[in-house]
């Protein structure tokens, strides 16, 4: 049996009745071409021939018009007569119709290959391929719909989180939406990372209420559950991303950075530091920020030596970030000694350099006034154009 792309016309010619006028007014033919799967044929062409009884290779085509992106075609200035209109797809006949055109005709001729007659003429093999194609296409359409819905959820959640961040607003609805999203597509790392974002933000919302009520957040089971679940979601996202065919280092790093921040909020600075180190491994080009976060968490936890070490790593990775210099200065100032002879405080080496460098980079920064006061108490001149001196 011939395939649906090889169906050839075998009908006999139809003889035109009546003589043509001395000056013929030509016809216009237009329509749409649809393949057996119900899709527009966008890469075909419609050809006209009067060689009705000849084999395909021997026919001469007098008019040829392509289909457009919607599967439509339009042939103008076609001489009156009896034709076979043939749809050609990838060099082969796909469908045909006989048509008689009269002078001045404006005729619509559609080629619908989903018609029962056409499908019946297909070979069993081609029908099986068609059904498999329809099945795969339906699955792809369904997957695309899910992806579109998930992208819409992500966009809404990100907008909500940005709006809630300044006041630590309630984002419980976003938590529910992202939980539904990861349930829908549990193998997608970015969904888990975003889920972690919402859980952390909701934990912040509950922690703010605890702070306002002068209640330790660690005693709030709901807040801690949100933080714990956020950490698990961040780690899941990082692991899925690392195991994917095309890992995205920035996403992995964002996940570990989120885990580090959340662990710090739980009062686990050492675990937080480990998470920030993983962020550096995932995205070394942004090491300055991750080491800076590590330094801040360790300093806030009172681990000044570890904070100073992390600040040094942050500075080495990105010498233009001001906060690590401030953290280093603060960590070192605690090691100052008192000179009995001069009756002055003597800061350890590197402390004043760090403070001066902070002011150079952020003369109007959040810590600028505090740094200026410390330097003044040490008898140091504030110099915002400061350059670190050589070590002695």
Walk along the chain (392 residues) and give the pLDDT tens digit of each residue.
444 344 333 333 333 334 444 455 899 999 999 998 888 999 999 999 998 778 877 888 888 999 999 999 999 999 999 999 999 998 888 899 999 999 999 999 999 999 998 888 888 888 888 888 777 767 666 777 888 889 999 999 999 999 999 999 999 999 999 999 999 999 999 999 999 999 999 999 999 999 999 999 999 999 999 999 999 999 999 999 999 999 999 999 999 999 999 999 999 999 999 999 999 999 999 999 999 999 999 999 999 999 999 999 999 999 999 999 999 999 999 999 988 888 888 999 999 999 999 999 999 999 999 999 999 999 888 766 655 444 43
- 253 inside domain: no
- 58 inside domain: yes
- 240 inside domain: no
| Helices 249-265, 287-300: inter-axial angle, 10-degree rounding | 10
Spatial separation of the C-alpha atoms in residues 180 and 29, rounded to whole Å: 52
φ and ψ at 6, to 5 degrees?
Answer: -120, 15
- 336 inside domain: no
Q: What is the CATH number of the domain that holds 68?
A: 2.60.40.1120
Q: Which domain holds residue 85?
A: 27-122
- List CB contacts of 349: < 8 A, sequence separation 6 or more: 391, 392
- 40 inside domain: yes
- 96 inside domain: yes
- List CB contacts of 174: < 8 A, sequence separation 6 or more: 156, 157, 160, 161, 198, 201, 202
How many C-beta atoms surround the C-beta of residue 185 within 10 A? 15
- 137 inside domain: no
Please tell me the total count of domains within the chain. Answer: 1
Name the residue among 337, 284, 276, 340 with its Cα closest to residue 309: 276
- 151 inside domain: no
């Amino acid at each position: 049996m011939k395939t649906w792309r090889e169906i050839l016309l075998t009908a006999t010619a139809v003889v035109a009745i009546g003589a043509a006028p001395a000056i013929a007014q030509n016809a216009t033919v237009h329509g749409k071409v649809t393949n057996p799967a119900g899709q527009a044929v966008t890469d075909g062409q419609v050809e006209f021939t009067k060689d009705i009884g000849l084999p395909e290779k021997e026919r001469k085509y007098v008019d040829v018009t392509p289909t457009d992106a919607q599967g439509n075609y339009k042939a103008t200035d076609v001489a009156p007569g009896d034709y076979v209109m043939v749809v050609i797809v990838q060099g082969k006949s796909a469908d045909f119709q006989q048509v008689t055109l009269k002078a001045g005709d404006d005729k619509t001729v559609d080629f619908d290959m989903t018609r029962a007659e056409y499908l019946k003429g297909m070979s069993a093999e081609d029908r099986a391929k068609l059904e498999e194609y329809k099945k795969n296409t339906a699955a792809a359409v369904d997957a695309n719909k899910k992806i579109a819905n998930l992208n819409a959820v992500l966009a809404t959640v990100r907008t909500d989180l940005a709006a809630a961040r300044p006041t630590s607003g309630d984002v419980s609805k976003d938590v529910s939406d992202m939980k539904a999203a990861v349930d829908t597509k549990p193998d997608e790392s970015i969904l888990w990372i975003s889920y972690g974002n919402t859980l952390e933000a909701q934990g912040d919302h509950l922690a703010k209420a605890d702070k306002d009520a002068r209640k330790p957040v660690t005693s709030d089971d709901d807040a801690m559950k949100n933080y714990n679940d956020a950490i698990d979601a961040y780690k899941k996202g990082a692991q899925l991303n690392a195991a994917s065919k095309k890992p995205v280092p920035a996403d992995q790093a964002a996940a570990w950075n989120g885990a580090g921040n959340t662990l710090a909020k739980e009062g686990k600075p050492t675990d937080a530091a480990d998470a920030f180190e993983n962020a550096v491994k995932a995205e070394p080009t942004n090491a300055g920020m991750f080491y800076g976060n590590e330094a801040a968490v360790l300093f806030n936890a009172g681990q000044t030596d570890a904070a100073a070490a992390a600040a040094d790593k942050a500075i080495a990775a990105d010498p233009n970030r001001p906060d690590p210099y401030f953290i280093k200065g603060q960590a070192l100032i605690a090691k100052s000694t008192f000179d009995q002879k001069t009756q002055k405080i003597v800061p350890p080496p590197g402390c004043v350099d760090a403070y001066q460098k902070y002011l150079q980079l952020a003369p109007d920064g959040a810590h600028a006034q505090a740094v200026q006061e410390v330097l003044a108490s040490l008898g140091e001149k504030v110099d915002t154009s400061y350059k670190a001196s050589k070590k002695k």
